Structure 1
């Protein structure tokens, strides 16, 4: 009896312990990460530039500090220029599309609905003339309601874009802090990393070094895995759009393939509206082709993604899919990538005997 009571007590304590750890991890990722993210990203960029800086310093015999500062400057200038050009193009395109929604409704959707009404009215009038007046009244109300909804949706989207623009100052402040921190961290990376590592006991230092090596290696594996998935999606899109007869198939396929990485939106964020617009414009052959292509890409993506990412991380596809689903719902794109990597890290630490979680 005492043994059974002890086992139950031990089970309850372990469950509470695990729940507290999970809660702390969740709070850290949800709130603390947002506060220290500029410094974490700065550390990551400084780490990536550390090896090239040391090699260039050995070749030129210029101190690593100055080489690091030069590389950070070059890195941010290049990335900043690309992001500015891309951002201006995307904002201009999105704004133009939003402004065109009411026009699209008036010129495409409303005539399509009215033509359908005339055909349906003819059928109804032949069989039940009494219902024609009632049907016309209800349909006019529907058309007017759709028109007002499209206008309201357009205004809402413009408001959303304005809200994004209003949040840009805070984003720029974080970005500025990250840029400044990168210069200081890159200049004294070895000193700072050694200082942080010394704050932990010897065993903790070994665990941290092991985690760092594994996570860095795993990140490259994940990047390589998703590069393969994007390449496969691009080839599918290019072949499908070429068969349908879409102009600039290479450029469009490249843009949609990159957009496919985003959670929730994915390929459907472009393909589904494109299919609807083609249908409203009367291009039924193109609309059917785009819809079939979207279904094919979605099915292939859902099959290959867990297998490719899971095999690279040493995880079963169902475990990878579960982590990706939970991570995307809790933390968005960070969780989509971070949860499979975290599970892979726990499996590695368990296999090496550093921690004991799985039997």
Structure 2
């Protein structure tokens, strides 16, 4: 075998092994160190406010304490208000579903009496009569499909209640973790410059510049992407809530938040909820609501088209198709949490690519030098 090819293969193997070791270390250490990571993120977010308070001649410990109180207290107040309002409207929404049960039953009965539906049923019956051998196979497939859907629905409902039970049972441990995060954030903030200098001193001099470049691109991409998505979701939710209130829809707050979160899905977004809802309203004779929902959908689309380029201008954009693939891959690998982890990992990989990490690794494998 040619010596150059052998050296490239060995360098490539070394790169693969190093990447595998890093991933293994992250997999092993992350469950142990994630409170420290969350504490660092909290300290990083608080740092601008800490600097402002220090500029007002406040002692460092007091500036950090006030910043912690502002961030944690504000978060608790906002979450408490949101959850209280959400629970209240969800209860009202469930009561609304109960009130519409009779209406849905009448709708299904009227559809079953429709001439076109009756014609289809007659054709199916005639097909059964002309092809008796297919009758058992079709009934078996329908029964199996129904059973599969029923099991999926049962698993989903059971999983939801199990999640609630696990969340309630884990509240004491969550409280302990929260205390650790707050204390760690306090100590990190009071010695922010010292801790950063110590961390920088641990890196070899040749790695300082590449690591700094990676962090700059990663910070711009990840934080920019998350900030942009929060802004876009908030704008969508506010527009939907206002629109539903004007249309006289009950539980507008809960529905608006749900549609805002659904807006995370590329291409599909709010149309998954609003378009079927508008179609249902039209079929039930509520023409005003159907037209209002379509107008609301149009307003959301126009607003997204106008705002999205401007909001994403400060972040590194990722192609929507790639984002959709990342969400699907994350869903398959990590479950529902993967809908968030997939795009985040995709943004991180994109930041590494923009920082030239993959180009440098390719250069190392081919020539033995990092460029």
Please classify the TM superposition score into its range, dividing by the shorter chain length: 0.5 to 0.7
Kindly report which structure 2 residues correspond to 1:19-58, keeping only aligned pairs within 5 A, or say none. 19-21=16-18, 23-24=20-21, 27=24, 32-58=29-55
**Which residue does the alignment assign to 1:343?**
350
RMSD in angstroms over aligned alpha carbons?
5.0
Check whether the contact 1:68–1:186 (CA below 8 A) recurs between aligned residues: yes
Q: Deviations over 1:27-63 (max 9, x none)?
A: 566664344222212112212222322332232x232
Return the alpha-carbon distance in structure 1 between the equivalents of residues 253 and 84 of structure 2. 18
**Which residue does the alignment assign to 2:62?**
66
**Which residue does the alignment assign to 1:334?**
341
Shift of 1:78: 0.7
**Which residue does the alignment assign to 2:76?**
80
Q: Does 1:113 align with 2:111?
A: no
Unpaired runs of 5+ residues, structure 2, are: 130-141, 331-337, 364-370
Return the alpha-carbon distance in structure 1 between the equivalents of residues 77 and 231 of structure 2. 26
Unpaired runs of 5+ residues, structure 1, are: 135-141
Check whether the contact 1:42–1:178 (CA below 8 A) recurs between aligned residues: yes
Kindly report which structure 2 residues correspond to 1:312-331, keeping only aligned pairs within 5 A, or say none. 312-313=314-315, 318=319, 321-322=321-322, 325-326=325-326, 329-330=329-330, 331=338
The SS at the match of 1:62 is: coil
Shift of 1:285: 6.2
**Which residue does the alignment assign to 2:215?**
212
Give the paired residue count: 332
**Which residue does the alignment assign to 1:139?**
none
Return the alpha-carbon distance in structure 1 between the equivalents of residues 54 and 329 of structure 2. 45
Return the alpha-carbon distance in structure 2 between the equivalents of residues 120 and 203 of structure 1. 78
Tell me the TM-score normalised to structure 2 length: 0.65
Shift of 1:282: 3.8
**Which residue does the alignment assign to 2:183?**
180
Q: Deviations over 1:90-141 (max 9, x none)?
A: 344445545765x3673122211112223449966xx99x98xx9xxxxxxx
Q: Does 1:222 align with 2:217?
A: no
Q: Does 1:259 align with 2:261?
A: yes
Does the C-alpha gap of structure 1 residues 208 and 290 become closer, same or farther in structure 2, counting only changes over 3 Å?
A: same
The SS at the match of 2:103 is: helix
**Which residue does the alignment assign to 1:167?**
167
Return the alpha-carbon distance in structure 2 between the equivalents of residues 154 and 295 of structure 1. 36
Does the C-alpha gap of structure 1 residues 207 and 53 become closer, same or farther in structure 2, counting only changes over 3 Å?
A: same
Return the alpha-carbon distance in structure 2 between the equivalents of residues 160 and 342 of structure 1. 32
Check whether the contact 1:42–1:179 (CA below 8 A) recurs between aligned residues: yes
Does the C-alpha gap of structure 1 residues 86 and 30 become closer, same or farther in structure 2, counting only changes over 3 Å?
A: farther
Q: Does 1:246 align with 2:247?
A: yes
